[in-house]
Amino acid sequence: MSFLNALCATAAVISFASMPAFADTLPAPKGEVLLTISGDLSHETAGAAKGTVTLDLEILQSLETQVFTTSTIWIEGNIEFTGVSLRDVLDYAGATGTTIEAIASNDYKVDIPTDTLTGGSNENAPIVAYFMDGAEMSARGKGPLWIVYPYDDDVQYRTEVVYSRSIWQLDRIVTVQ
């Protein structure tokens, strides 16, 4: 799968060819900041705190959209999730760490090793979903962002660990070495 990784990385490089390679300054989000990434990053968002990358819905939507439908253990019935690959998000931020700490607004925190973001049966899982059944998710529900896996696709996505990593009300990511 390393070949695919390389391919994806290359694709990412090609897509953001115009972007600076190191310590590039990313444009500041125009809308409400939904996600703040900090830690070992090679980019930072202009106007944001030093060493942080912030993303609003618009920026998220500018990344490659991922859509899948799956059932969950939290909500009755099948749900169509729309979002971006977590890997793409980290690539956007130029994250270099081996692990990320995903943190929810309720301070729930979970570690996700970056090597688990590739090699699954779904190349793009997990995703950072911003739409549930085509609508934004409210903060009083699971929103605004929710890391979800295509649970129905594979038994490997129906484990306690995966469930614990399915963090909702995501608003921060810290990359660590």
Residue recorded with tokens 């009755």: 76
Give the H or E element holding residue 9: helix 2-15
Residue recorded with tokens 């939507």: 61
Nearer to other proteins, 10 or 121 (CB): 121
Of 15, 62, 69, 106, the one binding other proteins (CB under 8 A) is 106
Nearer to other proteins, 42 or 70 (CB): 70
Phi, psi dihedrals of residue 67, rounded to the nearest 5°: -130, 130
Q: Please name which of 118, 122, 119, 138 lies closest in space to residue 130, comparing C-alpha atoms.
A: 138
**Closest separation in Å from C-beta 141 to other proteins:** 6
User: Interface with other proteins includes 160 (CB under 8 A)?
Assistant: yes
Beta pairing partners, 65: 84
User: Interface with other proteins includes 169 (CB under 8 A)?
Assistant: yes
**Closest separation in Å from C-beta 154 to other proteins:** 11
Residues that bind other proteins (CB under 8 A): 73-76, 104-108, 138-142, 155, 158-160, 163-164, 168-169
